[in-house]
Amino acid sequence: MTSKFGDYQNEIYFNALRGVLPEFPMAFAELADRAQAALPPGLWSYVAGGAGDEFTQRANVSAFEQWALVPRMLVGAAQRDLTVELFGLTLPSPLFLAPVGVLGLCAQDGHGDLATARAAARTAVPMIASTLSVDPMEQVAAELGDTPGFFQLYTPTDRELAASLVRRAEAAGFKGIVVTLDTWVTGWRPRDLRTGNFPQLRGNCLANYTSDPVFQARLKESPEQDPSAAVLEWASVFAAPLTWADLSWLRSLTTLPLILKGILHPDDVRRAKDAGADAVYCSNHGGRQANGGLPALTALPGVVAAADGLPVLFDSGVRSGADVIKALALGATAVGVGRPYAYGLAVGGTDGVTHVLRSLLAEADLIMAVDGYPALADLRREGLVRLPGGV
């Protein structure tokens, strides 16, 4: 499939001839500034912040600077193929929307999960929908159109509730279950502590729970009658500290692909594969959960080697199309973007997310054109070198 993602720049230039300049920022730094101005301070801190002094969050970003793409000339890369095969799906690009648990709050209308799903539908970029959502998963899935969606699960301590969430995701049409492993307890987040802001404890982003019959059965009164009790009940069941022994049970819940998110060690990759995982997701939660750890990109080559053909999803620190290309060159099957699209959502709703995704894809496509890589296989074979002094 020939990529035309780079045509977005032609659209921008020709619009400028008519006096129409881009409504949304073209650079990440300006996008972040605009998002900060659009969001309440506590919510901005929650979305932009990380764990501890945010060393790991910064390291995720700077890790990309340790790698450089190697141009190859005279290969005739006038046509590029960015398609990827994942779980029997043919996707037009390797980009996906990583799960963000406060999307609903980031949109000016308070329904950011739906706005993001609409942007996914427009761009054919798959969305991983978070358990923590303002709107129920069924409504999010309905907005995706023909674009695949995946459901991210924070596995509750109540196994019956976990099974119910997975069954609902299957019925809604999601194409896989992404189990987050590193967030059964909240990491130390000074920005959030300073503002006292924990959105879910304020009753936000809990629609998948309050709409669930198993969760409702745990309450003496309906969430509408006693919202405080619903919040306390959510806090008591939110997430279990999973062990390897739990994976057979998780695998038994669904025939959908099971993707384990938060794996960075090669030994864990091999154990996940042996336990029946259909993919591993190399991520450190964007630096939000544990400070002081290695950048996810640094772990990626070892994860890919240990996966030995198993799909490897990746996120953490992606800020540009160049970052997407570098992660692909290191072996990622698909690459997730998080904060940039959340900022686009804050600035412009569905249009803002669409702009961010089209910009990332355009830059990635044009880099492959200029550097002489007609296909992702060419890029992975010889497209990247580590710079001297890299960590």
Q: Specify the DSSP element, H or E, that contains 327.
A: helix 321-329
pTM: 0.96
What 8-state DSSP symbol labels residue 293? P
Give the annotated binding-site residues for glyoxylate: 46, 154, 189, 285, 288
Per residue, what are the HEC states of 299-322?
Answer: HHHHHHHHHCCCCEEECCCCCCHH
In degrees to the nearest 10, what's the CA dihedral of 244, 181, 217, 219?
130
Q: Which two tokens stand for residue 124?
A: 């054919």
Phi-psi domain of 55 (left: phi exceeds 0; alpha: psi -120 through 50; beta: other): alpha
d(CA 289, CA 271): 23
Give the annotated binding-site residues for FMN: 99-101, 130, 152, 180, 261, 283, 315-319, 338-339
Q: Which residues of the chain have pLDDT under 50?
A: none
| DSSP code string of 21-51 | --SS-SSHHHHHHHHHHHS-HHHHHHHH--S
The amino acid present at 211, given as its one-letter code, is S
pLDDT in tens, 49-85: 999 999 999 999 999 999 999 999 999 899 999 999 9
Give the per-residue pLDDT at 388: 87
Give the per-residue pLDDT at 74: 94
Give the per-residue pLDDT at 390: 57
User: Please, what is the angle between helix 266-274 and helix 296-307, to 10°?
Assistant: 40
Report the candidate in 248, 239, 227, 221 with the shortest Cα–Cα distance to residue 132.
239
Q: Is-contact 289 187, C-beta < 8 A?
A: yes
Q: Which two tokens stand for residue 117?
A: 């799903």
Give the per-residue pLDDT at 381: 81
Give the per-residue pLDDT at 38: 98
Q: Which two tokens stand for residue 214?
A: 């198993």
Give the per-residue pLDDT at 383: 80
Topology annotation, domain 25-386: TIM Barrel (3.20.20)
Q: Is-contact 256 176, C-beta < 8 A?
A: yes
Q: Which residues are catalytic?
A: 285
